[in-house]
Amino acid sequence: MKLIVTGSAGFIGMHTALSLLDHGHEVVGIDNLNSYYDVDLKRRRLEILQSEPGFRFIMLDIVDANALDECLRRERPATVVHLAAQAGVRHSLENPMAYVSSNLVGFGSILEACRRSQVGHLVFASSSSVYGNNARLPFSEHDPADHPLSLYAATKRSNELMAHSYAHLYSLPSTGLRFFTVYGPWGRPDMAPILFAHAIANGTPIRVFNRGNHRRDFTYVDDVVAGVVAVALGKPVAGQAQAARPDDPATGSAPFRLYNIGNGNPVRLMDFLSLLESSLGKKALLQMVDVQPGDVLETWSDCSDLQRDFGYHPHVSLEEGMEKFAAWFRDYYSV
């Protein structure tokens, strides 16, 4: 089967493409290699993919609707796994228009290109940040998610609503995946694990927001990718959820579903830091600061739907995952 993976030079994109290739599928990767973070890291990921048979790369910006449409018409993929986006909660406070462009305009281009090319299934990345400070824990896809705390979260919730409308209007099978704090080798350098690891290695202070009282559902990248690939190789069926309540945001009569992909085990940020210190063999210098605007205080995934429908079960403990991440970090950054 031929699949297009957007954001293929990204963290989750690279791992997803590799897994699909390992399953024997043909993968066409799309990325614009923007400079939001270290382009050399993206190129290194891409080099790994380009060494694999069955992979081809197309340099393309999803905001360019005409180029994207031409690409999908030419390639005729069975499935599009859309992982390209402007990521990062905190950066959305500094450069909001980048999120409007990539996550809203770009996602509109994806929907239109998939509709015109009659793609069999659109799988797209959403985020646990859509839940905001939802008081009900663990977070369930069947609960409302109408009060995002950041523009990034708002764009991801908007993607879900946009995809549902296309599923309803044009019978475009669409599945949104709400990722929970993904970490592991080849991760983004703007995310906490690498920021913290660099600070520990260099002996510089770490600003610990909310004085370390955040709790996060840290999910190892291999577990996340297992869920993405399982969903990408299936697709939702129209009318499958007619027995559900009509206002259920995760289901409905259209060929549309939402799933959480997490570990289901929230961890205090201070415990995460302690494991990172142990894995790197060095203590961190901590600077306790107040909570930052846009931050969610706690994330906790209920993945029972994904487990029921696709047999999803995370296998990598935080201890094991941190050791794997630290080993890669030391090798890649020559620490």
Q: What is the pLDDT of residues 147-193, one digit of tens each?
A: 999 999 999 999 999 999 999 999 999 999 999 999 999 999 999 99
pTM: 0.95
The reported pLDDT for the residue numbered 252 is: 81
The catalytic residue among 152, 183, 259, 312 is 152
The reported pLDDT for the residue numbered 244 is: 53
Q: Give the residue from 96, 95, 20 showing the smallest Cα distance to 52.
A: 20
Torsion of CA 125, 131, 136, 139, to 10 degrees: 10
pLDDT tens profile 121-132: 999 999 999 999
Does position 226 have pLDDT exceeding 90, yes or no?
Answer: yes
Q: What integer best gives the mean pLDDT of the chain?
A: 94
CATH 3.40.50.300 fits 2-180+221-264+300-315, yes or no: no
The reported pLDDT for the residue numbered 209 is: 86
**Calpha distance 188→162 (Å, rounded):** 27
pLDDT tens profile 234-268: 888 766 554 456 678 898 889 999 999 999 999 99
> What does each C-alpha distance from 115 to 2, 15, 53, 120, 231 come to in angstroms?
17, 26, 29, 9, 19
Q: 107 falls in which pLDDT band (50, 70, 90)?
A: very high
**Calpha distance 209→155 (Å, rounded):** 23
Encoded amino acid at 7, one letter: G
**Calpha distance 53→287 (Å, rounded):** 47
152 is an active site residue: yes
